[in-house]
Chain A
Amino acid sequence: MGADIVHVLADGTLLLSEELRESFADVRTFWATREDDFILLIPLDRKDEEALTASRALAELREMATQTGETARTAEEVIEKLQAIRRRIWEEEYRPRYLKAIEKYYATHSDRRPR
């Protein structure tokens, strides 16, 4: 396996290795989701498929949710699950960035400090 270093050209073009280019030859567009120090490229649209519209994407998501029983969750269960995810993401990804603001806030609102 060759080195999969991707060069970034001055105009922003990514120069893929031969191997990567072949692997994704059928992809028309990627979604680039950003993490702290890397990006993740997610194939969005493939050349051999009919273009996926937002409307079709939503219909397919609903179909998937029905098949996996996700639709059986109550509103309270969904909100509880989302709140737990949000708290975890806050703790892991945001809290370290906002430590100064957090300390400033709890210096005057000690009663609201999470236990």
Chain B
Amino acid sequence: MPPILTVVLDSNVYIFSINRSEPGCTALLDTLVTGRWQDVLTIATPRMVEREVVQILRDISPGAPRRFYTILASSPWNGVTYEDPPEELILKYWELGLPEEDGIIGAFAEWVGASYLVPQNRHFLERLKTDAFAVLDAGAFLEILMQRMENND
């Protein structure tokens, strides 16, 4: 059996999916919340992503963060990682050209051993080139995930 994939979703994937404004993000979250991912996939979430999404959701409704936490508490999500990556890794992602605040996301993905970082943001997709993990948009990652599931059957 192939090893469990670790994936990091950036904040905009959640918001675009909730807004249904990007079909790839909508389809990816629909697939993740309805599939059976045990032994296949785990989603690691840095506290930066938690903070950002919750701030947006609070403006939508006071009850919205609770729904988001319900998703984070469900498989394939692995809750929120409240520890932060080490300085050396953050420095690495600044060296690779990311702004200070985005460096934390790249460093986190490498630190948790992610195979994929999934942002829906041209800035990230075009700028970040690393051997540590692949950077894909939601639609491209969903295709990989579906292929993997077919191969598992």
Contacts and interface: CB of A to CB of B under 8 A. Distances in A.
B47 to A, nearest CB: 8
Contacts, number: 133
Contact of B104 (A58, A68, A90): A90
Interface residues of B, number: 53
Given A58-B33, A62-B18, A85-B55, A100 B69 contact: no
A62 B60 CA distance: 10
Contacts of B16: 75, 78
B64 A64 contact: yes
B61 A85 contact: no
Interface stretch (A1-9, A10-18, A48-56): A48-56
B57 interface: yes
Nearest to B70: A57
Interface of B: 11-12, 15-22, 29-30, 32-34, 47-48, 50-52, 55-57, 59-61, 63-74, 77, 80, 82, 84, 87, 90-91, 94-95, 100-102, 104, 121, 123
22 contacts: A31-B72, A42-B66, A44-B70, A52-B70, A53-B74, A54-B70, A57-B67, A58-B18, A58-B33, A61-B57, A62-B18, A68-B60, A70-B18, A79-B12, A79-B123, A82-B11, A82-B52, A82-B56, A85-B52, A89-B51, A90-B104, A97-B84
Interface of A: 29, 31, 33-34, 42-45, 52-55, 57-58, 60-62, 64-65, 68, 70-71, 73-75, 78-79, 81-83, 85-87, 89-90, 93-95, 97-98, 100-102, 104-105, 109, 112, 114
Given A44-B66, A54-B70, A58-B71, 14 more contacts: A33-B69, A34-B47, A44-B73, A54-B74, A61-B18, A71-B21, A75-B22, A78-B21, A82-B11, A82-B15, A87-B101, A101-B90, A102-B100, A112-B94
